[in-house]
Chain A
Amino acid sequence: MSGYLESQLIILCLNVIYAYGIFLPAASGQLNLGAAGFITIGAYASAYFNTSGAPMYLAIPASMLFCAAIAFVIAFPILRTRGVYMVLATFAFAEVVAGLIINLEFLGAAAGYPVDSHADFLVVVPVTILVVLLCFFLMSTRLGLAMRSIHDDEAVATLFGVDVRLAKVAAFTIGAALMSLGGALYGHHYNYIETQTFNVLVSIYILLYVLLGGTQTAWGPLIGAAFFTIVPETLRQVAASSGQEWIADTRFIFFGAIIVLMMVFRPEGLITRTMIDRIAMPFAGGRGGPGGRSGAAPSAKAA
Chain B
Amino acid sequence: MAENVLSIDGLHKSFGGLKVIDDVGFDVRRGSRTALIGPNGAGKTTIFNLLTGVYPVDAGKMVLDGRDITRVPARDRVIFGMSRSFQNIRLMPHLSTVENVMLGQHARARRLGDLLYPLGLVPGNRWAKAAKEALEDAGLDTYPGQVVANLPYGVQKRIEVVRAMVSQPKLLLLDEPAAGLNQVEAQQLLALLEKVSDSGVTLLVVEHDMHFVHNLCDHVAVLNFGRKIFEGTPAQVNDDPLVREAYLGSDTSMAGQRAAAPAAGAPHAS
Which of A160, A284, A288, A303 touches B88 (beta carbons < 8 Å)?
A303
Residues 141-155 of chain A: 1 if any B CB is under 8 Å from the residue's CB, otherwise 0? Answer: 111111011011101
The CA-CA distance from A146 to B84 in the complex, in Å, is: 18
Does A273 touch B at the CB level, under 8 Å?
Answer: yes
A156 and B86 contact, Cβ closer than 8 Å, known pairs A142-B119, A149-B103, A291-B151: yes
Contacts of A159 in B (CB 8 A): 52-54, 74-75, 77-78, 83-84
Give the one of B93, B153, B163 with max A CB within 10 A.
B153
Residues 128-183 (chain A) with a chain B CB within 8 angstroms: 137, 139-146, 148-149, 151-153, 155-164
The CA-CA distance from A97 to B221 in the complex, in Å, is: 59
Does A80 touch B at the CB level, under 8 Å?
Answer: no
The CA-CA distance from A163 to B167 in the complex, in Å, is: 15
**Interface-located stretch among B23-31, B182-190, B226-234, B250-258:** B182-190
Does B79 touch A at the CB level, under 8 Å?
Answer: yes
Give the one of A148, A160, A163, A164 with max B CB within 10 A.
A160
The CA-CA distance from A43 to B89 in the complex, in Å, is: 46
Does B121 touch A at the CB level, under 8 Å?
Answer: yes
Give the one of B75, B76, B140, B167 with max A CB within 10 A.
B75
Does A5 touch B at the CB level, under 8 Å?
Answer: no
Contacts of B75 in A (CB 8 A): 158-159, 161-164
Contacts of B104 in A (CB 8 A): 160
Does A290 touch B at the CB level, under 8 Å?
Answer: yes
Shortest Cβ distance from A146 into B: residue: B106
Contacts of B2 in A (CB 8 A): none
Does B116 touch A at the CB level, under 8 Å?
Answer: yes
Shortest Cβ distance from B113 into A: residue: A142
The CA-CA distance from A228 to B86 in the complex, in Å, is: 41
A161 and B79 contact, Cβ closer than 8 Å, known pairs A145-B119, A294-B184: yes
The CA-CA distance from A127 to B115 in the complex, in Å, is: 24
Does B107 touch A at the CB level, under 8 Å?
Answer: yes
The CA-CA distance from A301 to B148 in the complex, in Å, is: 14
**Interface-located stretch among B5-13, B94-102, B202-210, B241-249:** B94-102
The answer to whether A161 and B78 have CB atoms under 8 Å apart is: yes
Does B240 touch A at the CB level, under 8 Å?
Answer: no
Contacts of B145 in A (CB 8 A): 276-277, 280-281, 284
Name the interface size band of chain A: 35 or more
Shortest Cβ distance from B138 into A: residue: A292
The answer to whether B84 and A301 have CB atoms under 8 Å apart is: no
Shortest Cβ distance from B53 into A: residue: A159
The answer to whether B182 and A141 have CB atoms under 8 Å apart is: no
Does B261 touch A at the CB level, under 8 Å?
Answer: no
The answer to whether A141 and B117 have CB atoms under 8 Å apart is: yes
Residues 124-146 (chain B) with a chain A CB within 8 angstroms: 127, 139-146
Shortest Cβ distance from A150 into B: residue: B92
Contacts of A143 in B (CB 8 A): 115-116
B89 to chain A, nearest CB (A): 7
Does B270 touch A at the CB level, under 8 Å?
Answer: yes
Give the one of B84, B90, B115, B167 with max A CB within 10 A.
B115
The answer to whether A162 and B147 have CB atoms under 8 Å apart is: no
The answer to whether B90 and A156 have CB atoms under 8 Å apart is: yes
The answer to whether A299 and B182 have CB atoms under 8 Å apart is: yes
The answer to whether A296 and B167 have CB atoms under 8 Å apart is: no
Residues 100-126 (chain A) with a chain B CB within 8 angstroms: none
The CA-CA distance from A288 to B94 in the complex, in Å, is: 14
Shortest Cβ distance from B82 into A: residue: A159
A141 and B154 contact, Cβ closer than 8 Å, known pairs A280-B145, A290-B141: no
25 A-B pairs (CB sep. < 8 Å): A140-B118, A142-B119, A142-B127, A144-B120, A146-B106, A148-B94, A148-B99, A152-B94, A158-B75, A160-B83, A160-B103, A160-B167, A161-B75, A161-B79, A163-B75, A164-B75, A277-B145, A281-B144, A287-B147, A291-B150, A296-B182, A299-B154, A299-B182, A301-B153, A303-B270
Known contacts A160-B167, A303-B88; 15 further A-B pairs (Cβ under 8 A): A141-B118, A144-B120, A148-B94, A149-B95, A152-B94, A155-B54, A158-B74, A158-B75, A160-B107, A161-B76, A161-B167, A281-B145, A287-B147, A291-B140, A292-B140
Q: Residues of B at under 8 Å CB distance from A?
A: 52-54, 74-79, 83-84, 86-90, 92-97, 99, 102-104, 106-107, 109-110, 114-121, 127, 139-147, 150-155, 158, 163, 167, 179-182, 184-185, 188, 270
Shortest beta-carbon contacts, A-B, top 6: A302-B180, A140-B120, A277-B145, A161-B107, A298-B152, A152-B92
